[in-house]
Structure 1
């Protein structure tokens, strides 16, 4: 499976519901809303990988597994 942030190799973790969950050696463990995944695919958007990794690292100080929602996506301008 691919990382939804950097497109590298990642482990897919089945959780069901409204989120996809991945564990990437480079980006770490995170959840991303399925609505955001669909939006990225429909619009051909990609994440700003460095900014997203920094955001994830900051969130890990507050929660074990950060969840990325549409309004939190750091995309390449």
Structure 2
């Protein structure tokens, strides 16, 4: 399985709900909403790896798995 952020090798983690969860050696463990993934694919967009990794790091407080939802992602056509 590949990382949704950097496209490197990542482990897919089973989770409940409308999410894809990954554990990447470089990006760490995170969730991305299915709605965001579909929107990115439709618009031909990808994550800015550096900014997304920084954002995820800032959200890893108390061991919680950070989640990226569509309203948190900047989508520029």
Provide the TM-score with structure 1 as the length reference. Answer: 0.90
Name the structure 2 match of 1:10: 10
Structure 2 equivalent of residue 66 of structure 1: 66
- Could you say what the CA RMSD is over the residues aligned between the two structures, in angstroms? 1.8
Runs of 5+ consecutive residues of structure 2 not aligned to the other structure: none
Secondary structure of 1:55 counterpart: helix
Distance in 1 (alpha carbons) for counterparts of 2:34 and 2:61: 24
Residue 32 of structure 2 aligns to a residue whose secondary structure is: strand
CA distance in 1 between partners of 2:61 and 2:45 (Å): 27
Deviation at 1:15, TM superposition (A): 1.1
Q: Which residue of 2 aligns with 1:43?
A: 43
Deviation digits for residues 17-67 of structure 1 (CA, Å, limit 9, x no counterpart): 111100000000000000000011111101111000000000002551000
CA contact 1:48–1:74 (8 Å) conserved in 2:
no
Unpaired stretches in structure 1, ≥5 consecutive residues: none
TM-score by length of 2: 0.90
Q: Provide closer, same or farther for how the CA distance between residues 29 and 3 of structure 1 changes in structure 2, counting only shifts above 3 A.
A: same
